[in-house]
Structure 1
Amino acid sequence: MNHLGDANLRTWTLRFMALLAADTQEQLAWLGERELETESVVEEVELLCRISEELAERGAFEPKNLRDLQAIGRHLGEIDAACRAGLWANALATDPAWDEIRPLARQFLLTTLGYWRQPLPRPVRPHTGDH
């Protein structure tokens, strides 16, 4: 890893994978009152999966880690537009794609870090515009 940006992208990928790997109840608790759109989650993870190959070429990930990220990217690509609409909390409860992605994220973390259970990222506070 020769770029500070690579280290940040690696950290962001690991944090997002920890969130995807968590049990549904943990994900819902993490979401709390946040109204996170499914489309935003899908786009963010698809982006991380797309750039993972380049990150591996630069040493941020091992090539063996790519298989799980690529599988996650393929599953996300199969989620149709209707299932991408709405809140992620609702999708977690109704769309089986997230149940298929969860073990892939766990395997990625297991391969990358040796243990899939990781602390969930600190939630970002919603912007209120009251500055």
Structure 2
Amino acid sequence: METPDASFRRRLLIESLTVLAADAQIQAAWLDRHGVVTDEIALDFDHAFGLADELVAQGRLTSGVMADLEGIDVILSGMSGGENHDRWTRDALSTDEGWAEARRLARRVLVAELGEWERSLPEITVVR
């Protein structure tokens, strides 16, 4: 039987991948709608990625997607740092190769897990 905690953790990962997999224009609109900055996409993924090993151990995530999830993590981590500030603009979502590759990998994980990658982006609550 699936625990509510496992279901919640899987949902967090799927939602973060859904945002990451979306076309750049859709990502930008989502950021605007929620009043958050571009790095929120990476922060949400980073938080959810930390749960991936546990989800695999619980049988809630196929182990075959771990390489793609790790690839996304490496890409987004590599984009961090003061000299890379231009990679975190809204324009970069549609022009930066790192974002394009992370998007491609996120889509592949969603297809492997759900059979499709195009999904409605999640609603979030921002506490200020």
Q: TM-score, normalised by structure 2?
A: 0.81
Q: 1:115 deviation in Å? A: 1.0
**Structure 1 gap segments, 5+ residues each:** none
Contact 1:35–1:87 at 8 Å: present in 2 too? no
Identical positions, percent: 28
Query: Which consecutive segments of 4 or more residues in structure 1 shift more than 4 A?
Result: 84-88, 125-128
C-alpha change, 1:29 and 1:40, in structure 2 (3 Å) is: closer
Aligned residues: 127
Contact 2:20–2:41 at 8 Å: present in 1 too? no
Q: 1:12 deviation in Å? A: 1.4
C-alpha change, 1:95 and 1:36, in structure 2 (3 Å) is: farther
Contact 1:42–1:84 at 8 Å: present in 2 too? no
**31-40 vs 107-116, greater mean Cα deviation:** 31-40
Counterparts of 1:94 and 1:8, CA distance in 2: 33
RMSD: 2.5
**Structure 2 gap segments, 5+ residues each:** none
Q: TM-score, normalised by structure 1?
A: 0.79
Counterparts of 1:95 and 1:58, CA distance in 2: 35
Contact 1:20–1:101 at 8 Å: present in 2 too? yes
C-alpha change, 1:33 and 1:15, in structure 2 (3 Å) is: closer
Counterparts of 2:120 and 2:33, CA distance in 1: 20
Match of 2:76 in 1: 76
What secondary structure, in the 3-state scheme, does the structure 2 residue paired with 1:61 have?
A: coil
Contact 2:49–2:69 at 8 Å: present in 1 too? yes
C-alpha change, 1:33 and 1:89, in structure 2 (3 Å) is: farther
Query: Is 1:32 the counterpart of 2:32 in the alignment?
Result: yes
Q: 1:30 deviation in Å? A: 1.7
Aligned ranges 1:48-87 → 2 under 5 Å: 48-82=48-82, 83=84
Match of 1:106 in 2: 107
